[in-house]
Amino acid sequence: MEIPPGFEESMAKNQIHKSSPEAGYKQGQADHTLFVKKSHAGKLAILIVYVDDIILSGNDMGELQNLKKYLSEEFEVKDLGNLKYFLGMEVARSRKGIVVSQRKYILDLLKETGMLGCKPIDTPMDSQKKLGIEKESTPVDRGRYQRLVGRLIYLSHTRPDIGFAVSAVSQFMHSPTEEHMEAVYRILRYLKMTPGKGLFFRKTENRDTEVYSDADWAGNIIDRRSTSGYCSFVWGNLVTWRSKKQSVVARSSAEAEYRALAQGICEGIWIKRVLSELGQTSSSPILMMCDNQAAISIAKNPVHHDRTKHVEIDRHFITEKVTSETVKLNYVPTKHQTADILTKALPRANFEDLTCKLGLYDIYSPA
């Protein structure tokens, strides 16, 4: 094989000179869409890529201008100025912070489904009813159901308040019925009441990484599997969350909470890796908030427990992270468990209280 012209070094004919194709930017290992360049002065330039859409951020304004120039020379690029709209997400700024919402996306969805004039409702899911499979229920158009749920899944990227409801209806994609479609329409009715609600990111003095984890034991009436939920706060602001049915049946509430705790710890570790790649290293542990004393006791006590013999991997994983002080377990009362909103349908009062704790605000509502 011959070395292409221009790649040989004059002093070493058998060596290849390779220049970085990323203009000095280092790709993140925790998030491969993230590229970071650090200057000798400690300043950062951050590049986030999604297909052919790019966000530039950081405090190295000189480097950001150079990057814009470099990209415009290599590709056909359109500079849209300060970030206002990205992949269906709207960004609004004020002196107090930044709000990310999907108001236009919601209104377009309501218009497409003929729900723009529907009667609004206070919660996305009925707290007195659980979805199941009714033998006598009438099937509905599977393609339409899947498209609607798919749109709601994307919307949940900025709306953790519908996270559990969307997770619940997405479990019936293969054979939806009228009961399931009614649950989807209820989510749309809730969105009609709160189209402008979005995540509020404020500047704080808090430098902790907190993860709330919770589980609804045997909450699924079909197979009695539990639902895990966690939400992660970085410096006091919500950044990630998840609501997902567990893959196996838990024999006790402690086991269900324990599995959810392990998932939350994994998320916290990933967040710390991202922060480290952004130059924000911290020796302080991840603060895990759990409302189950039994799960915390098992994690802190390395003694073999009969109730957790079959969850040995999670048990050893959590114990290892607690022992190494990567994680600090804290008990939080159930009424203050923010992740509760991601594991079950809640009454209006509880639901509204937790949406505020998640940092969801409607900038379009009257003051």
What is the dihedral angle through the alpha carbons of 239, 110, 182, 165, rounded to the nearest 10 degrees? 0
Q: Are strands 12-16 and 8-9 parallel, antiparallel or unpaired?
A: antiparallel
Judgement on whether residues 146 and 231 belong to the same structural domain of the protein: no
Q: What is the pLDDT of residue 313?
A: 83
Q: Report the number of distinct structural domains present in the chain.
A: 3
Residues 279 and 139 in one domain: no
Q: How high does pLDDT run on average in the chain?
A: 91
Buried b (16+ CB within 10 A) or exposed e, 5-31: eeeeeeeeeeeeeeeeeebebeebeee
The pLDDT, as a whole number, for residue 22 is 57
Look at residue 19 and tell me if it is in a domain: yes
Domain that holds residue 185: 101-196
> Is residue 363 pLDDT above 60, yes or no?
yes
Distance CA 83, CA 91 (A): 7
| Two tokens, residue 179 | 């009961």
The reply to whether 291 and 346 lie within a common domain is: yes
The answer on pLDDT for 1 being more than 60 is no
Average pLDDT over residues 335-347: 97
Predicted local distance difference test score (pLDDT) of residue 18: 47
Residue 4 has pLDDT above 80, yes or no: no
Which of 130, 163, 196 is the last residue in one of the domains? 196
**Mean pLDDT confidence for 275-298:** 93
Is 51 within a domain?
Answer: yes
Whole-number Å distance between alpha carbons of 109 and 214:
31
Residues in contact with 226: Cβ distance below 8 Å, sequence separation at least 6, in sequence order: 215, 216, 217, 218, 219, 220, 245, 246, 249, 250, 256, 259, 260
Question: Is the per-residue pLDDT at 186 higher than 80?
Answer: yes
pLDDT score recorded for residue 13: 56
User: What CATH number does residue 216 fall under?
Assistant: 3.30.420.10
Supply the pTM of this predicted model.
0.89
Q: Are residues 190 and 216 in the same domain?
A: no
Domain identity same for 116 and 181: yes
- Which of 45, 79, 113 delimits the end of a domain? 79
60-71 pLDDT, tens digit per residue, is 999 999 999 998
pLDDT confidence of residue 42? 87
Last residue of a domain, which of 165, 196, 227? 196
At 19 the pLDDT is 43
Does residue 78 carry a pLDDT above 50? Answer: yes
Report yes or no on 366 lying in a domain. no
Query: For the chain, what percent of residues have pLDDT higher than 70?
Result: 91
